[in-house]
Amino acid sequence: MTEWEFDRVAAPLRPPIVFDQHWRNVTFVHWPVEPATVAGLFPPGCRPDVVEGRTYVGLVPFQLLGVRIGRLGPIPYFGSFAETNIRLYSVDGAGRHGVVFCSLDTARLAIVPIARLLFGVPYTWSRMRVRQQAGGDWRYESRRRWPQRGLASTLTVGVGAPVEPTQLEQWLTARWGLHARIGGRTRWVPNAHGPWPLHEAEVVQLRDDLLAASGVVPAGDRLRALWSPGVRAQFGRPVTVAER
């Protein structure tokens, strides 16, 4: 096996479906990272996912729409909101690839304590705005309210033509789960979605405090940005990860 071998298509989720949602107007901005510098940020039982000696950190703002829990319909108020993630790339001893979140900023205060308690992910409450400007550029704005009040992120991208992802870009976007501490154990939460329709994106403006606040230090130049109109995503039941 080579380090590039990974699942380019999601495996079917075993029922029940825990969450069903749409990720819309997504921008991916990535930097390379030395794996040893972030190893301490991963929960027990998983480690940085590495390709050609590097791992990566992503700044990923988007809109989350039409959230459903189980077989329930879309949830009013909680079902649609903006979100900005700082994420790392993970793999566990069973070879399950995923992401580890350093932070998830959301505009919905009520989600923060629930998600932290039930799903082990570091949600924070922020004032957020996502809009398409008159010239067609997409602008994402976030200013944190709690915790670490005042941290801000502003990103504007110009969306270009559709592109075929490189091998590395496929590796960064074909992530079929997340690793998190839930109930005192490390769990892998599987997800499934269709292929990302990707466009090249020009970073017009980027002022960001969130990456530095995460403690992650890039080890090289920023990769080309990507934008997507989005996909429908579903999450399955968490799987316990062996920690030794």
- For residues 243 and 114, the model is more confident at 243
Residues 129 and 186 sit within 8 Å (Cβ to Cβ)? no
Q: Give the global pTM.
A: 0.93
- Tell me the chain's radius of gyration from C-alpha atoms: 17
Q: Which helix (H) or strand (E) holds 171?
A: helix 167-173
More confident call, 3 vs 234: 234
DSSP letter for each residue of 107-168: S-TTHHHHHHHHH---EEEEEEEEEE-TTS-EEEEEEEEESSTT-EEEEEEEEEEE-PPPHH
Q: Which domains does the chain have, with CATH numbers?
A: 19-240 (2.40.400.10)
The sign of the dihedral angle between the CA atoms of 221, 208, 173, 104 is positive
| pLDDT at 116 (0 to 100) | 60
d(CA 243, CA 166): 33
Task: Confirm if 214 and 18 have CB atoms less than 8 A apart.
Answer: no
Question: Where are the strands (E) in the chain, listed by range?
Answer: 19-33, 46-48, 55-69, 81-92, 97-106, 123-132, 138-146, 152-162, 177-182, 185-193, 199-208, 225-235, 239-240
Provide, rounded to the nearest whole percent, the portion of the chain with pLDDT above 70: 89
pLDDT at position 154, please?
98
Q: Please tell me the distance from the alpha carbon of residue 84 to that of residue 1, in angstroms, as a whole number.
A: 34
Check whether the bond before 16 is cis (ω within 30° of 0). yes
Instruction: State mean pLDDT over 209-233.
Output: 97
Range 38-46 average pLDDT: 97
What is the arithmetic mean of pLDDT over 151-162? 98
Residue scoring higher pLDDT (162 or 148): 162
